[in-house]
Structure 1
């Protein structure tokens, strides 16, 4: 299966490409998880090649099952591409009205607008692809002290809907942001 989403060049930077994860991403995935900031906000940690393979296999299984659609976000750079982020739609259920989105960015990508651009591309794709099947709402959950994620959610039109109590493995309360499918889309 090949799914590619192009995010054109933007005032905030060059084009981005959202594509399926491959084994060639393993070295950059391991490097991304060496960042203590990212490890603070993610539940699954990648420490070595075995962890990276397991993580990528989980992403492939999600595509196979249709309930966790994860993309490697890469930035073209001199004939190559460099991993800058991950975005995911999860909890998809046939005929279900809502799903969750999530993302992370590499250390080098932070502060460059990549998280917002990748999340916006994912959001548009998810509604275009699944609104006919009933997808109406996307939810983004982050811990209340993750201010950067709060800014990204708001910038992408995800409205703060509620604060939820801490629930393991998350040590802090969380913000739930939602974005509804645009009016006029099938299912709306």
Structure 2
């Protein structure tokens, strides 16, 4: 659970807001359901990280199903400790099409970061935009976050397009901010602020 600190202003989100209930399943456009990861998803999760494009942008990746299961346990713990909300992006709750997460939760300032990937067969079909849109609406309007950030390599033009389509304004470039397999990358910082969401 998020720890409170002495503030001169109240926290934007009260501690306990997430952990008090199970992580909800979110519906998105196109028959998508964003649900917590289940142990049975481990093979699909591991297979996704064997894809060259996902590996290109994600340097932390599981090497075996047993490791994927440990990640799922950590994801459940993140929810209970109010550190993150990790979901499988699925077609009607079944086939795994991607991953989406809300991480780096700051309840005091009401800020969090969105991260995602999509499997090869689901790319350019609206899956990423649908998932990001649904998670954004939930985080801003139901949980009460004020600002969500989305960061990606400046070389990842597909993610730049998803961010822009979902209302995340590009605010600048974080120079040499992340290490990828081929070295350091500059990163674009996008953000979606509650007052700008219609």
Question: What is the match of residue 124 of structure 1?
Answer: 137
**SS, match of residue 103 in structure 1:** strand
Question: RMSD of the TM alignment (CA)?
Answer: 1.8
Equivalent residues, number: 174
Taking the aligned partners of 2:127 and 2:160, their CA distance within structure 1 comes to 15
**SS, match of residue 102 in structure 1:** strand
- Which of 68, 80, 84 is the equivalent residue of 1:64? 80
Question: What is the match of residue 39 of structure 2?
Answer: 23
Question: What is the match of residue 12 of structure 1?
Answer: none
Note the 1:138-177 alignment, pairs <5 A. 138-170=148-180, 171-177=184-190
Question: What is the match of residue 14 of structure 2?
Answer: none
Listed as ranges, the gaps of 5+ residues in structure 2 are: 1-21
- C-alpha contact 2:178 2:186 (8 A) present in aligned 1: no
Question: What is the match of residue 3 of structure 1?
Answer: 24
Shift in Å at residue 151 of structure 1? 0.3
Report which structure shows greater RCO (CA 8 Å, sep ≥6): 2
**SS, match of residue 165 in structure 1:** strand
- C-alpha contact 2:176 2:185 (8 A) present in aligned 1: yes
- Asked if 1:46 is matched to 2:42, the reply is no
Which ranges of 4 or more aligned residues in structure 1 deviate by more than 6 Å?
A: none
Taking the aligned partners of 1:99 and 1:70, their CA distance within structure 2 comes to 13
The two structures have a TM-score, normalised by structure 2, of 0.82
The structure-2 alpha-carbon separation of the partners of 1:130 and 1:96, relative to structure 1 and needing over 3 Å to count, comes to farther
